[in-house]
Structure 1
């Protein structure tokens, strides 16, 4: 669950000031975290509009897939559209 906690921590560091902090213990927040992971998994975001190398994109994909898997283990009711576990 470390990768998922790191993902949430990073999000809270950058966006928490404006949008409030996300909490893995909150059901509503868990779906919002799933939506953030989904957004990051979209091809244009995953590849940073072609700004990163294929290798970097694959590392990013593996990390995001692990986050999605950990979130589903924590809460099977969350919905993903881009994650293909």
Structure 2
């Protein structure tokens, strides 16, 4: 299973607990939302759980998230721009 598929499956499993609709890689709007979610998960606070995780876990999370982001950018360059927009404020 790809890193991106695993990421979306985890997000959908969590969303299901709160009665939210599942995200799909087939939908452009959902792909943008997935990109923004990956970007948020890569923030230092979220990535390290406010500094509570050991370095090995942080590195594993970072590797998984960047792999998912790379796969998403290959699938939909517009989604990659959504991540960029968050950094530039555009």
TM-score by length of 1: 0.89
**C-alpha displacement at 1:50, in angstroms?**
1.2
**C-alpha displacement at 1:55, in angstroms?**
1.3
Q: What is the distance in 1 between the residues matched to 2:56 and 2:62?
A: 10
Q: What is the distance in 2 between the residues matched to 1:73 and 1:16?
A: 27
- Gaps of at least 5 residues in structure 2 are none
TM-score by length of 2: 0.85
- 1:23 and 1:30 in contact (8 A); partners too: yes
Taking only aligned residues, the RMSD between alpha carbons, in angstroms, comes to 1.7
Aligned to 2:7: 7
Q: State yes or no: 1:31 paired with 2:40.
A: no
Matches within 5 A, 1:1-85: 2-17=2-17, 18-78=19-79, 79-81=82-84
Q: Give 3-state SS (helix, strand or coil) of 1:6's partner.
A: helix
Q: Deviations over 1:31-77 (max 9, x none)?
A: 00001100100000000011110111011001000000000000001
**C-alpha displacement at 1:8, in angstroms?**
0.3
Moved over 6 A (4+): none
